[in-house]
Chains A and B, each alone.
Chain A
Amino acid sequence: MRTETFLTWRNLVDNLLTNAACVGLIAAGMTFVMVAGGFDLSVASITAVCGVVAVLAVTAAAPAGAGVAIAVAVVATVAAGVALGAANGVLVAYVGVNPFVVTLSTMLVFRGIALVLTRGGQSIEVPPAVRDTFREFYWGRISLAGTPWRLTVPILIFAAAFVLAVILLKYTRFGHYVYAVGGNETASWLAGVNTARVKTVTYVLCGASCAIAALVYTGMSNTAQAASYQGLEMIVIASVIVGGTPLGGGRGGLFYTLIGLLLLSVIENLLTQFGITEEYRNIVRGLIILIVVAVDVTVRKKTTKTRA
C-alpha cells in the first residue's frame, strides 16, 4: 500500500485531525465526567438523539431562512444535549445510582428516543434549502492567512471548545472542585463543596459536548439516523483512559485526553494506511489500549517505589 501518503496535509489534517476533532469534542466532555470519578456510556446515544433533534429543528425553521434555521438548530441541539446530560447527572448525583448502571440504562433509553423521533429508524434529511449551509459544519474549510493550507471547520470548533474546556477545568473554582470530587468525594463534601451539583454539571457538559459533535456529524451527511454512532462511546472512553485519566477520577485532564485521542487516531489511520483488514482491527485496537495502560501502571508502580 502507498504508506507514503501518511505524511500529507490531506491525510493528517483533512482526514485524521478532522475526524479526531469530532471524537475529541465528546472526549473533552467525557474528561470532566471521568476526572470527577464518573462514567458515561450513553454519549453515543446522546449524540444520536442530538443529531435527530438538529435535523428536526432545522427542518422546522427552514422557511425562516438558512441563517435562522441553523441558529435554531444549534440552540435546540445543545438544549437537547444539556437536558439528556442533566438527566444522567441527576440520576447519578442526586438519586445516587452507580454511573455505570445509570448510563447503561440511559444508553438504551436515549437510543430508543432517537428511534421514536425518527419513526422507527428512518434516516431524516436536512431540507434542500439549508443543505449547503448545514454541511459546512463538517465540510467547511477556512484558509490560514497567507498560506496555501486550509483548516477544516471541525478542527476549529474543537480547538475553540478545547480552549474553553481547559480554562474551565484548570483555572476556575468549578474545575478545582471537579478534581476534588474525583479525588475524595467525602472529604470534598465535608469541606463544603456541593458535590452533587459538581457531578451533575460534569454530565451536563458532557451532554452539551455530544450536541456540538452531533451538529458536526450531521453536517457530514446532511442526514440523521437513530442507529448511528454505535460504539463511539468506546472510542471516547478509550481516548480518555489511554490519555491517563484513571477510572476512579481525581487525576488526569484534557491534555492527557488530547494525547490519548491523537494516539488512537494515528493508530486508526495507520491501520488503513497499511491496509489492515477489518477482522484484525478490533484486536489491534484492544491490544493497544491494554499495552498503553499496562505500561502506565507499571511505570507508576516503579516511580512510587523509588520515591518511597
Chain B
Amino acid sequence: MGSNRTYRTYGTYAAYFIALLLCVLQGLACLKSPAAEKRPQIGFLMTLDDPYWQNMRLGAEDEGKKLGADVTILNAKEDPVTQIQQIQEMIARQADAVCLVPMKKEPLVSGVQALNAAGVPVILVNRTVADGCEYECFCGTDTYQGAVTSAKILVEAVGGEGGIVEFHQHLGTGPELARSKALRDVVKDYPGIKILARVPHEGDRGKAIKEMQTLLDKHPEVKGAYVHGDPQAIAVADACHDAGRADIAVVGMGGSEEAIAAIKAGRLTGTSYQQPEQEGRTAVQLAIKKLNGEPLEKSYLIPCPAITKQNASQFKGQF
C-alpha cells in the first residue's frame, strides 16, 4: 500500500484547511460580534421556488432592515426534512424568533416542538402545522378564502355548468389541501359542474402546458381550468389559446404582475389577489412585537380580493 503516504499528505491538508477555516471564523466573529450583538436575530424559514416566495422574502428582509433586526432567510425547497435541519441550525445559532412557512403540516410538528423546547417563539407564515406544538400566532394569506374566490370566478365564467379540470401543486402541502377543498366546496352547489380531471403541475409551467394539451385531446368538452398558482394558470391559458380554444376559462391564484397583465389582455379569466410582500412584513413585525413583550392575537389573516377583467386596472401585482 505505497499510496498511503500520499494519502497522509492529503489528510493533513484537509486538517489544515479545517483549522484555517476555524481561525478565520473566530477572527471574523470577534470583529463582527460587538456591533451585531444587540440586533434581534430572526430566522425566516421558507421556500423560494416561486416568485411568490421571492416577494415574501423581499418584504421580510426590508421590514427587518426598517426595524433593525437581522433576518436570515433559509430555503427548504418544499422538503420538511431539510426544514427541520434548518430549524436546528436556527436553535444552534440562538435565534431570538423564527418565522416559519411549514413545508408540510404533520412533519413539521417535531420541528416546532424543538423550537418550543429551546424557547424560541414561532410565527407561522402562510401555512399552518398540525396539532401537538405551540406557536405564537399565524399570519398569512387566507389561502382557503382566496381559492374560494378563484373557484367562484371560474364557476361564473363557465355559466355554472360543464366540465372543468384542476391543476394542483405538490400533494399534501397546506395550500394544495386548502385549494382542493375550496374547489369542491364551491362546486358542491353546482350539480351541473363536473371535475373531469385532476393533474399535478408540480410548480412547472412546461408540465402544465403538456398536461393541458393532453387533456384537450382527451376531454374536448372542457370549459374551464382551475389552476393552483398563477404561473401555471398562465401556462394553461397559453396552451388553450395555442390550441385554438380561447373559449376555455382559466383561473389562477396569486395575483402576480404577470397574471394581472394576462387578465387585462383577456388571456386569463381571473385570479385571487395575494400579498406575499405584506405577509413577509407582517411576520417580521409580529416577531419583533413578540420580542418587545407586546401581546399578540392568534391569527392575522390577509384577505385576497377577486381580480377579473373589470377591475384588473386597480391592482398592482406584488410578485
Contact = CB atoms under 8 A, between A and B. Distances in A.
A6 B25 contact: yes
Contacts of A18: 88
Contact of B110 (A15, A135, A303): A135
B80 A14 contact: no
A223 B93 contact: no
A3 B5 contact: no
Interface in B249-301: none
Interface in B37-92: 37, 41, 48, 70, 72-75, 77-81, 84-86, 88-89, 91-92
Chain A CB within 10 Å — which of B18, B73, B171 has the most?
A: B171
B110 A220 contact: yes
Contact of A270 (B5, B21, B88): B21
A65 interface: no
B29 interface: yes
A266 B28 CA distance: 16
Q: Is the interface of B mostly helix, strand, loop or mixed?
A: helix
A105 interface: no
Interface in B10-48: 10-11, 13-15, 17-18, 21-22, 25-26, 28-29, 32-33, 36-37, 41, 48
Nearest to A227: B79
B111 interface: yes
Interface string A211-248: 00000010011110101111000000000001110000
B124 interface: no
A3 B81 contact: no
B80 A228 contact: yes
A303 B107 contact: no
A194 B230 CA distance: 58
B9 A228 contact: no
Contacts of A296: 10, 13
Contacts of A1: 32, 36, 41, 70, 72, 93
A125 B80 CA distance: 13
Interface in B105-150: 106-111, 114
Nearest to A301: B6
A275 B64 CA distance: 14
Contact of B9 (A123, A242, A303): A303
A221 B33 contact: no
Interface string A96-126: 0000000000000000000000001111010
Interface residues of A, number: 61
B79 A228 contact: yes
B104 interface: yes
Given A223-B107, A256-B7, A263 B17 contact: yes
B172 interface: yes
B7 A2 contact: no
Contact of A6 (B7, B29, B41, B70): B29
Contact of B13 (A16, A267, A299): A299
Contacts of A122: 171-172
Chain B CB within 10 Å — which of A220, A221, A273 has the most?
A: A221
Interface string A288-299: 000010011001
Interface of B: 3, 5-7, 9-11, 13-15, 17-18, 21-22, 25-26, 28-29, 32-33, 36-37, 41, 48, 70, 72-75, 77-81, 84-86, 88-89, 91-94, 104, 106-111, 114, 170-172
5 contacts: A2-B37, A221-B111, A222-B110, A230-B77, A292-B14
Interface of A: 1-8, 10-11, 14-16, 18-19, 120-123, 125, 135, 138-139, 217, 220-223, 225, 227-230, 242-244, 251-252, 255-256, 259-260, 262-263, 266-267, 269-270, 272-275, 277-278, 292, 295-296, 299-300, 303-304
